[in-house]
C-alpha cells in the first residue's frame, strides 16, 4: 500500500515565462521510455513479483526496490507540477470563447496539452507518444532486474541532462537539479546492489554520462547539503533492510551513505494553480455558487 502525503518534494520557482514547448520537452522526463513513470512502474512491478523475499539473503534487495518504487511516485508528481506551471499562461484566461483564447495552441509542439488536457501534464513523452507498459522489465531474475534498473537510471540521468540543456527556465532547472541528485542516488543504489549480489565493482563505471552532478548549480547546492547520501524510507515501519546495501562511502565523493526516515516536514505544500475558465478547468466559475449550495 502507498500512504500519500499532500506535499511535493521541493519548492518549484514560478517559471520566468510560460512555455508550452518547454513543457513538451519536459514531458520526456515523465512519460518517456526513461521517464519517471517508467522508474515508478518498473520497481513497483518488480517489488510485487519478488519471490523468496523473506530469505535473509534476499530481503535487503526487496526492501531496496520496494522503497525506491515509493520514492518514484514523488518524482512523477514533481515533473507533472513543473509541466503544469510551465503551461500556466500559455492561453488567454477568460470566459469568452469567441475571443479564441486557445489560438496560440495551434503553434504548440504538443496540442494535447490544450485539447486532451486542461493545460496539464499527460502520460506522454516529448514527442507526444503515450507511455506504455512495454517499458516495464520484470524478469523475475534479480541480477537481470538490477542490471536493468542500473541501465534505466543511467538512461534517465542522460535524458535529464539533455532536458536541462534544452531549457533555461528556473522552474524546470530546479526540478531537474533535484531529480539529478535523487536519480543519481538510485544509480549508485543499484550499482551497490549489484556489488552485494555478485561482488563486481559497478561503481567504477560512474558517472554515466561522464559529467558530475556538481556541474549543475541546482544539483550541487543539494549535494553540498548531502541529499545524494540519504536514502529516505518512504514508509513509517518497513523496508529498513535496504541499509544492508546502502552503506559505506559514496563512490564519487566518499561521503558516508545513510538510511533515514523521511522527515515529517519534508517538501512543501503542492501548488494550487489558478483555474483556467477558457478550458473550464476545473469548471465554469459561474457555477461555483450553485455547487457550494449542493455540497452543503
The residue from 19, 27, 39, 47 that contacts Mn ion (CB under 5 A) is: 39
Q: Which residue is nearest to Mn ion (CB)?
A: 75
CA dist., res. 170 & res. 12, Å (int):
8
CA dist., res. 257 & res. 251, Å (int):
10
Grid-cell match 546495501, residue found: 245
The nearer residue to Mn ion, 39 or 213, going by C-beta atoms, is 39
Compute the least distance from the CB of residue 110 to Mn ion, in Å.
22
Compute the least distance from the CB of residue 36 to Mn ion, in Å.
5
The nearer residue to Mn ion, 36 or 218, going by C-beta atoms, is 36
Compute the least distance from the CB of residue 279 to Mn ion, in Å.
29
* Count of residues that bind Mn ion according to CB under 5 A: 5
Binding mask 45-74 for Mn ion (x = CB under 5 A): ---------------------------x--
Query: What does each C-alpha distance from 64 to 145, 209, 243, 294 come to in angstroms?
Result: 12, 24, 8, 47
Handedness of CA 229, 223, 194, 39 (dihedral sign): positive
Q: Are 42 and 152 contacting, i.e. CB atoms less than 8 angstroms apart?
A: yes
Handedness of CA 71, 72, 73, 75 (dihedral sign): positive
Helix (H, G, I), strand (E, B) or coil at 281: strand
The nearer residue to Mn ion, 68 or 102, going by C-beta atoms, is 68
Bond from prior residue into 22 cis (ω within 30 degrees of 0): no
Compute the least distance from the CB of residue 179 to Mn ion, in Å.
6
The bridge status of strand 7-8 relative to strand 268-269 is antiparallel
Compute the least distance from the CB of residue 231 to Mn ion, in Å.
13
Q: Does 160 sit near Mn ion (CB under 5 A)?
A: no
Q: Are 162 and 173 contacting, i.e. CB atoms less than 8 angstroms apart?
A: no
DSSP 151-176: HHHHHHHHHHHHHHHH---HHHHHHH
Contacting range for Mn ion; rule: CB under 5 A; set: 32-40, 41-49, 237-245, 267-275: 32-40
Compute the least distance from the CB of residue 111 to Mn ion, in Å.
28
The nearer residue to Mn ion, 36 or 63, going by C-beta atoms, is 36
The residue from 60, 62, 75, 180 that contacts Mn ion (CB under 5 A) is: 75
Compute the least distance from the CB of residue 171 to Mn ion, in Å.
18
Q: Which residues bind Mn ion (CB under 5 A)?
A: 36, 39, 72, 75, 183
Amino acid at each position: 500500500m502507498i500512504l500519500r502525503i499532500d506535499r511535493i518534494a521541493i519548492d518549484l520557482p514560478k517559471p520566468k515565462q510560460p512555455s508550452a514547448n518547454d513543457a513538451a520537452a519536459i514531458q520526456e522526463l515523465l512519460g518517456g521510455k526513461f521517464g519517471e513513470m517508467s522508474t515508478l512502474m518498473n520497481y513497483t512491478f518488480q517489488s510485487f513479483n519478488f519471490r523468496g523475499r523473506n530469505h535473509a539473503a534476499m530481503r535487503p534487495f526487496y526492501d531496496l526496490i520496494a522503497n525506491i518504487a515509493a520514492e518514484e511516485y514523488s518524482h512523477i508528481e514533481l515533473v507533472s507540477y513543473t509541466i503544469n506551471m510551465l503551461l500556466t499562461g500559455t492561453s488567454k484566461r477568460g470566459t469568452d470563447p469567441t475571443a479564441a483564447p486557445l489560438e496560440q495552441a495551434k503553434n504548440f509542439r504538443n496540442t494535447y496539452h490544450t485539447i486532451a488536457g486542461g493545460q496539464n501534464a499527460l502520460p506522454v513523452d516529448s514527442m507526444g507518444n503515450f507511455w506504455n507498459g512495454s517499458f516495464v522489465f520484470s524478469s523475475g531474475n534479480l541480477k537481470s532486474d538490477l542490471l536493468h534498473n542500473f541501465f534505466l537510471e543511467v538512461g534517465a540521468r542522460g535524458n535529464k541532462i539533455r532536458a536541462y540543456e534544452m531549457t533555461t527556465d528556473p522552474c524546470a532547472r530546479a526540478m531537474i537539479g533535484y531529480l539529478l541528485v535523487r536519480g543519481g542516488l538510485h544509480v549508485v543504489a543499484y550499482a551497490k546492489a549489484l556489488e552485494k549480489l555478485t561482488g563486481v565493482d559497478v561503481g567504477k563505471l560512474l558517472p554515466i554520462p561522464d559529467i558530475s552532478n556538481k556541474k549543475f548549480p541546482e544539483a550541487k547546492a543539494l549535494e553540498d547539503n548531502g541529499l545524494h547520501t540519504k536514502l529516505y524510507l518512504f514508509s513509517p515501519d518497513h523496508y529498513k533492510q535496504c541499509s544492508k546495501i546502502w552503506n559505506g562511502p559514496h563512490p564519487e565523493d566518499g561521503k558516508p551513505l545513510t538510511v533515514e526516515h523521511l522527515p515529517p516536514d519534508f517538501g512543501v505544500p503542492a501548488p494550487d494553480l489558478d483555474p483556467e475558465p477558457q478550458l473550464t478547468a476545473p469548471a465554469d466559475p459561474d457555477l461555483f455558487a450553485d455547487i457550494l449550495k449542493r455540497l452543503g
